[in-house]
Structure 1
Amino acid sequence: DNRTVVAASCAAVTSVFCGFPFDSVKTRMQTHNYRSLTDCVRKTYRVEGVRGFFRAGIAPPLLTVSVLRATSFSVYERAKSSLYRLHGSSDVTLLSLGAIAFVAGGASGTAVAALSCPFELVKIQRQLQVLVWERQQRLVDPRSQPTWASVKEIVRLRGPLGLFYGLQSHLVRDLAGTGTYFAGYECIKRVLASIEGGNGRTSSGVHFLAGGLAGVFCWMLTFPLDLVKSLIQKDVTAVARHAPNGWQVARDIVRRSGFRGLYTGISVTLIRAFPIH
């Protein structure tokens, strides 16, 4: 459905413009020690200025996110249609709707994760490069280097497959996250539509509210998976040759900071979640 592709692409472009600075702050809070959201914002601005919040550059996400989001929605709609045919009955309960949406969303997330992993990996490196540079006291100031320099550095250290460093944790996050989001979206939309009444058509307000609430719900459940992914991928240029086990990373977080540590950085994520979904 071309309308799905166009709508998804437009939504992706809008979400990049609105959410990119929040995503940068989220990654910094997940991977480095800050006392609070305001502490992270203040220190980032003091050291790097406004550009610190757009460190990865907004052009690459604009080009890639549109394609990835359109692919995600296309795969989801196709998978959902196939599951509806498999279900057979025209009377789909709310529970069945949620299950169908979760499986279709999981298929969509899995398909897109393999495509998006290199882009997210490079984005994380760019977002954190000044912090890493200061900590490791490297000679070359990364602020003067283009995005392509990060790609070349990863390939130099780990070969072309290094661009898929942390793919396993990325797959787990996107399978669970995309499945949870679409399940929440479809169920919330149906409930809100029944409350709204009308002639069978769902208003734009219902779509907006369902998407926002589903985004918040999704991140509250899957944020620890995103945290583990970020911690693994930030070390792609470290000495260790293999990505650490995700379970071990999560256990280390709980051991050091308790279960609250699994939600480090969630405040800015929830602020960002409603409007961009």
Structure 2
Amino acid sequence: MSSVASSSTGANTSAEQRNAGPSPGLLVFRRIIGGTVGGVCQALCSHPFDTIKSRIQAGVASSVSECASSTLKNEGLQGFYKGVIPPMTICGFYNATLFSANQAARNLVRPNDLPPGADLSLPRVALAGIMAGPACCAVVCPVEVVKVRLQLQTKDAAKAEFHGVWDCVKKTVQREGVFALYNGYSALLLSRTIGLPFYFGAYEVTKQAVQGPAAPGQPAAPASSLTALLAGTNAGWAFWTACYPCDFVKTKMQMQPRGTTSFVKVLSDTVKLHGVRRLYSGYGACMLRSAPANASVWFAMENTIAWMGRNGW
């Protein structure tokens, strides 16, 4: 009798463990791997659009079509991929940091009566997004500085100020000090603090609208491929719409030597000289870039996580 009870108890415990889903630590590990894979896909898909956005923000061109045609005519296809090495090499690391930090934050804000990986309320999703901001900004700011300065070079290679990524890093540090690589950090952090709650919130809302919420007390299943593409696109659009003016100011700050300007000065000068609409210069290019960039990163990450789950990782 006792052996039957013991066997029944063991079976119930095993079933409860399966229903509880992966541990909090395993969820973070899966986000590290999934974010890395997603980041590489994102960089390959989005960099041409990012180049156009940065050039319009800097005033090199006034529209998406003008910038695209002049870049193709004067520099060829490779012109769209100027500065691609920094995001290619670190975009995976950045997304691994962003998604794992967000998952760690979700673990912290999750109510005790919910299992790890369960759907959270929208306010908790937004709070976890805000908490992920400082970690991802620390990783991405130096990359953004180098990328922006390389993207804004439209002259031929012989006349270019920087000849590659490491030359840009070396000259920037020599002239302005190592902290120049964190030029525009305040604007970047503000943009992420504003944008990330919309980013993760829009993804969750779209995901649950398409495939429904998880059963009460159960961990959420990974999004299907179609859901990830749709929700990722909406997440990117929500993020950039919310924080685009801050990103505009950040780009302007990163173009300048460290200490020569500030967030408030760039913002006030821009509005005074050009009006509020100038803060959304390049918004169209950003939306074009955002769709493939964020659809690809979520698609790759969700499928990587699903594969890891099927294979016992």
Confirm or deny a common fold (TM above 0.5): yes
Shift of 1:150: 0.9
The separation in 2 between residues aligned to 1:245 and 1:144, in whole angstroms, is 24
- The answer as to 2:136 corresponding to 1:112 is yes
Distance 1:203 1:52, change over 3 A: closer
User: Is 1:173–1:226's contact at 8 Å kept on the other side of the alignment?
Assistant: yes
- How many residue pairs get aligned? The number is 259
Structure 1: gaps spanning 5 or more residues: 135-139
Distance 1:124 1:35, change over 3 A: closer
User: Is 1:98–1:184's contact at 8 Å kept on the other side of the alignment?
Assistant: no
Distance 1:72 1:6, change over 3 A: same
**TM-align CA RMSD:** 2.6
Pick from 96, 103, 117 the counterpart of residue 127 of structure 2: 103
- The answer as to 2:241 corresponding to 1:224 is no
The separation in 2 between residues aligned to 1:130 and 1:272, in whole angstroms, is 20
Alignment match, 1:80:
106
Alignment match, 1:137:
none
Please identify the structure whose Cα radius of gyration is greater. Answer: 2
User: Is 1:10–1:66's contact at 8 Å kept on the other side of the alignment?
Assistant: yes
The separation in 2 between residues aligned to 1:263 and 1:29, in whole angstroms, is 10
User: Is 1:110–1:171's contact at 8 Å kept on the other side of the alignment?
Assistant: yes
User: Is 2:48–2:80's contact at 8 Å kept on the other side of the alignment?
Assistant: yes
Alignment match, 1:157:
175
Distance 1:72 1:243, change over 3 A: farther
The separation in 1 between residues aligned to 2:256 and 2:126, in whole angstroms, is 31
Pick from 24, 45, 52 the counterpart of residue 79 of structure 2: 52
1:113 corresponds to which letter in structure 2? C
Distance 1:130 1:203, change over 3 A: closer
The separation in 1 between residues aligned to 2:292 and 2:140, in whole angstroms, is 22
Alignment match, 1:142:
160
User: Is 1:97–1:183's contact at 8 Å kept on the other side of the alignment?
Assistant: no
Q: After the TM superposition, which of the residue ranges 40-49 and 226-235 deviates more from structure 2?
A: 40-49
Shift of 1:33: 4.4
The separation in 2 between residues aligned to 1:84 and 1:276, in whole angstroms, is 29
User: Is 2:236–2:290's contact at 8 Å kept on the other side of the alignment?
Assistant: yes
The separation in 1 between residues aligned to 2:162 and 2:150, in whole angstroms, is 12
Distance 1:274 1:162, change over 3 A: same
Shift of 1:47: 2.5
The separation in 2 between residues aligned to 1:196 and 1:69, in whole angstroms, is 25
The separation in 1 between residues aligned to 2:32 and 2:162, in whole angstroms, is 36
* Deviation digits for residues 11-48 of structure 1 (CA, Å, limit 9, x no counterpart): 11111111011101100001114232111112222322
Pick from 213, 219, 222 the counterpart of residue 234 of structure 2: 213
* Deviation digits for residues 39-83 of structure 1 (CA, Å, limit 9, x no counterpart): 111222232222211111x33322211011011111100101110
Alignment match, 2:46:
19
Q: Percent identity?
A: 29
SS in 2 for 1:208: helix
Structure 2: gaps spanning 5 or more residues: 1-25, 295-313
2:95 corresponds to which letter in structure 1? R
